[in-house]
Chain A
Amino acid sequence: TQLLEQSPQFLSIQEGENLTVYCNSSSVFSSLQWYRQEPGEGPVLLVTVVTGGEVKKLKRLTFQFGDARKDSSLHITAAQPGDTGLYLCAGHSGGSNYKLTFGKGTLLTVNP
C-alpha cells in the first residue's frame, strides 16, 4: 500500500504570514494532486503536478513536485483568512486503473 505523509497535521498562523505544507512518500507517483476542502464540502482540486521537479503557481500558491516524484510541497505567500481549510495531497500510481491515494491532510487556520 502506498502511503502519503502530510506535515504538519495542524497549522495556525496570522494573516500575512507565509507557510509551507509537505507531502512525502517512499513510493513513486506518476502524478500528484493537491485538493482543498472547506467544512461541509467535498475536496476541490487545486493543481496536478506530473513531471519531476515541476513547479506550478496559482496566484499566491506555489506547488512543487520532487525530482524523484516521491514528494511535493505547497507554499502559500501572505496567507489570508480565505485560505483556511483542509489541504489534501493525493497521488496516482500510474497505469490505466486510476486510483488516488490520499494523505491525511493539513488543517490550516489563518487568523485575521
Chain B
Amino acid sequence: DADVTQTPRNRITKTGKRIMLECSQTKGHDRMYWYRQDPGLGLRLIYYSFDVKDINKGEISDGYSVSRQAQAKFSLSLESAIPNQTALYFCATSDSYTEAFFGQGTRLTVV
C-alpha cells in the first residue's frame, strides 16, 4: 500500500458542484499539504497543516477549504467548482525539512 493515498484518482465534475478530495497517510507525519500542479506553473501550495489543530493558507487558497480530521487524514474541498480549478492535485506529508512524500495525485476536471 502507498504511504500517501489520494482518492479519487480522477474526477470530472460540473461547474458549481461541491467536491472533496481526500488524503490519508501511513507515515505518521504531523505535517500535511495540498498542492496544485498546472502545466508550466509547477507546484503551488493551497493549504498546509502542522497538526490537527493547525491549518494555514498557502499561496492560492481562494476557492478552497480543508479539514484535518485526524493526524492521518487531510481533505481538500472545492465549495463551488469552476473550470479554472481544473488541475492535478497532490497531497504531501513530511516530518522534517529532509523530505516530502507525495501521493499519486488527483486529476480534476471541471466542465
Contact = CB atoms under 8 A, between A and B. Distances in A.
Interface of A: 1, 9, 30-31, 33, 40-45, 48, 88, 90, 92, 97-100, 102-105
Interface residues of B, number: 26
B43 interface: yes
Contacts of A44: 102
Contact of B92 (A31, A42, A97, A105): A42
Contact of B100 (A1, A97, A100, A104): A100
Contact of B94 (A1, A42, A98, A103): A98
Nearest to B40: A104
B19 interface: no
A33 B42 contact: no
Contact of B59 (A1, A45, A88): A1
Contact of A41 (B41, B43, B45, B105): B105
A33 B92 CA distance: 15
Interface of B: 4, 31, 33, 35, 40-45, 48, 50, 58-59, 90, 92, 94, 96-100, 102-105
Nearest to B99: A45
A40 B105 contact: yes
Contact of A42 (B44, B98, B99, B105): B105
Nearest to B59: A1
A98 B99 contact: no
A1 B4 CA distance: 28
A102 B43 contact: yes
Given A1-B59, A42-B90, A48-B99, A103 B105 contact: no
A48 B99 CA distance: 8
